[in-house]
Chain A
Amino acid sequence: MLRFIGRRLLVAIPTLFVVVTVAFFMMRAAPGGPFDSDRRLPPEIERNVAQRYGLDRPLGEQYLDYLGGVLRGDLGPSLKYKDKTVLQILRENAPVSLRLGGLAIALAVVSGMGLGLAAATWRNRAPDHGVMALAVLGVCVPTFVTAPLLALVFAAWLGWLPSGGWNGGAAINLVLPVLALALPQVAVIARLTRAGMIEALKASHVRTARARGLPERSVILRHALRSALPPLVSYLGPACAGLLTGSLVVERIFNLPGLGRFFVVSALQRDYTVVMGMVILYAALVLALNLIADLLYAALDPRVRLT
C-alpha cells in the first residue's frame, strides 16, 4: 500500500514537472507581456518594471528561478494585482471554488446514486426510462446552456433566487450555481450506478443473499450496491476535472469570486505567475484525486492488488 502510494508519487512528480514546464514556456511564447497597455510607458520605466520582476533576464534563468521558487513553496508575486502574491490570490479565492465544487459533487453523488439505484431496481419501467432520459439530457446539455437557462427561469422570470453574486456564501446564492455544476455529473453517476447495479444484481453473491431470505432492501443496499461502487469511485477523478471546467463557466455566469474566473482573465492579461500557480494547483488536485480514487477502489474491491 505504502509502496503503491510511493510509486504513484514518483509518477506524479515528473508529471507535475512536465505540466509546469509546458505551461511556463507556452505562456512565455505567447505574444505580448503583462505590462503592455494602451498607454505606452516610457522605456526607462518599462525597463525598471521588467527588472523588478526579473523579466529582463534570459528565459532559461527565469525558468530555473521559478522552479526553485515552486520547490520552496513560493509562487512569486502577481504581475497584475499589485502587492499580492500568487499564494494570497489562491488562498483568497480558492475557498469559493472549493465550496461550490464540494457541494456540487456531494449533490451529484447523492442524487446520482439515488436515481441510478431507482432505475436499476425498477428496470425497464417508468423510473428507469425517466432516469435514462435525464442521463442522456444531462450529458447533452452543457453547463453553459443550463446555467444561463436556470438563471433566466428562476432569477429573471420567476424571481425566486438571485441571478448571481456571492453574498458571503449565502445558501440562496449557491442554489443555482451548484445545481448547474452538478447536473452533468448527476447524469453520469446515475448512468454508472444503474449499469453497475444491473451487473451486480445478476451476480451470484446477490442470488445467495436472496436465497438466504434477506429482505430486498438489504440485498440491494448492502450486497449489490457494494459491488456496483468501484466504477463510480474511479469516475471520481474525471468528475472533478469536469467540475473544474464547469466552474470556469458557472463562476462567470453567476458572477462568483472564485478561481475559475481568474484563469482565463489572467491568461489573457499575461499574468504569468498567477496562471502558473493555478495550473499547478489544478494539476496537483487532479493527480491527488486520481490517487485517492485508486486507493478507494482497492479498498472496495479486494481483488485489486496495489503494486
Chain B
Amino acid sequence: MIRLAFGSARRAREMQQAAARGRSLWDDAWRRLRRNRAAVGAALVLAMLALAALAGPHLTPFAYDEVRKADVWAPPLTGGHLLGADALGRDLLARLLMGLRVSLAVGLAATAVSLVVGVAWGATAGFAGGLADEAMMRVVDALYSLPFIFFVILLMVAFGSNLALMFVAIGAVEWLTMSRIVRGQTLVLKEAAFVEAARAAGLTGPQIVLRHIVPNLLGPVAVYVTLTIPAVILAESFLSFLGLGVQPPMASLGGLVADGAQQMELAPWLLIFPSAAMVATLLGFNLLGDGLRDALDPKGD
C-alpha cells in the first residue's frame, strides 16, 4: 500500500508536468510499455492465442468432440491430425483450440466478477473510512486466512459443475486482493484536491466515488486485472484437473492436461501440447501484467 501511495503522489506530480508538456500519463505509459520487449511479445502471443481461440474451432478439419475409432492415439502429423488424437480418436488440435476458448472465457468472466465486487467493496471501504472501513477490511482479512479453494471445491462438488457457478465461485475468491488494492488507492485519492472540489460542489458520496474515485483507479486495477486472469485460468484448470470443472466432451486447458497426464506414457503428446498452451497463456498474461505495472508506475526503473 505504501508503495502504491507514493506511486500515486508521484503520478499526480508527473501528471502536472505532463500536462505542461502536453502529454498524458497514459501516453507516457504507452510509450514505456512499447519499449518493454517482453510485454510486447506477450501481448502479441496473447492476441494470437485469442484469435486462435475465437476462429480456430471453426477452421479445424475435425470437430472437438468428433470420435473416430480409426484414429485412437494417432501420433502427431498422422491421419490428418496435426497434433495427434486422444484415446477416443478425437483431434487434439480441435480440442486444444476449444479448451483455449473455454479457459479464456472463464478467465475473463470470473475476472469481471472479481473486478465488480472488489472495486465496489474496496472503493466503498476506503471512501467511507472509520468503522465501516475497519469492519469491511476485517471481513477481507478473515476470508484471506481461509483455504478458500476448498470451499470452491465443495461448492463444485455439491452443486455439480456448471460454468456460471464456476465464475461466481472463482470470482468470489479473487476479489479479495482487488478490494485491498482499490481501498489503498482510494484512501490516497480521497485526500486529493479534486475530490474536495467535488464535495464543495455538492456531490454526494456515491457520486464522488463513481465519477472521481473509480476512474482514477483505472491504472492499478488494469494491472491487477491482467494478473487476475491467469490466476483464474489456473483455478479453473485446477478444478478441471480434479474432474470438477468443465465436463467432457467439452474441453478446457486443465482438463486436457489432466487427460494427458493419465496416458502420458502411451501418448505423451496429449500431455505436452496442452501443457505448452497452458504455460504460454499464463506466461503471456503475467508478462503483460508486469509490463503494465512497470509502465504505469514511473517510480520503477
A residues whose Cβ falls under 8 Å from a Cβ of B: 11, 15, 18-19, 22-23, 26-27, 29-31, 136-137, 139-142, 144-145, 147-149, 151-152, 156, 237, 241, 244-245, 248-249, 252-253, 263-264, 267-268, 275, 279, 282-283, 286-287, 290
**In this assembly, does B186 line the interface, its C-beta being within 8 Å of a C-beta of chain A?**
no
On whether the beta carbons of A139 and B265 are closer than 8 Å, the reply is no
> Interface segment, B104-112, B122-130, B274-282?
B274-282
Q: Contacts A141-B282, A148-B257, A156-B265 hold; do A279 and B150 have CB atoms under 8 A apart?
A: yes
- Give the distance in Å from the alpha carbon of A279 to the alpha carbon of B152 in the complex: 12
Per-position contact with A for B8-30: 1 when CB-CB < 8 Å, else 0?
00000000000000000000000
On whether the beta carbons of B261 and A144 are closer than 8 Å, the reply is yes
Q: What residues of A have a CB within 8 angstroms of the CB of B244 in the complex?
A: 264
> Interface segment, B45-53, B68-76, B195-203, B233-241?
B233-241
Q: What residues of A have a CB within 8 angstroms of the CB of B153 in the complex?
A: 263-264, 267
On whether the beta carbons of B279 and A141 are closer than 8 Å, the reply is yes
Q: Contacts A23-B154, A268-B157, A290-B145 hold; do A148 and B260 have CB atoms under 8 A apart?
A: yes
Cross-chain pair count, CB within 8 angstroms = 112
- Give the distance in Å from the alpha carbon of A53 to the alpha carbon of B271 in the complex: 44
On whether the beta carbons of A282 and B158 are closer than 8 Å, the reply is no
- Give the distance in Å from the alpha carbon of A279 to the alpha carbon of B154 in the complex: 10
On whether the beta carbons of B234 and A15 are closer than 8 Å, the reply is no
- Give the distance in Å from the alpha carbon of A148 to the alpha carbon of B259 in the complex: 11
B217-251 at interface with A (beta carbon < 8 Å) = 230, 234, 237-238, 241-244
Distance in angstroms from B275 CB to nearest chain A CB is 5
Distance in angstroms from A131 CB to nearest chain B CB is 15
Q: What residues of A have a CB within 8 angstroms of the CB of B188 in the complex?
A: none
Interface range, B side = 35 or more
| Nearest neighbor of A136 in chain B, beta-carbon distance | B286
**Most A CB within 10 A of own CB, among B157, B278, B279:** B157
B122-168 at interface with A (beta carbon < 8 Å) = 142, 145-147, 149-151, 153-155, 157-160
- Give the distance in Å from the alpha carbon of A30 to the alpha carbon of B155 in the complex: 9
Q: What residues of A have a CB within 8 angstroms of the CB of B238 in the complex?
A: 142, 144, 245, 249
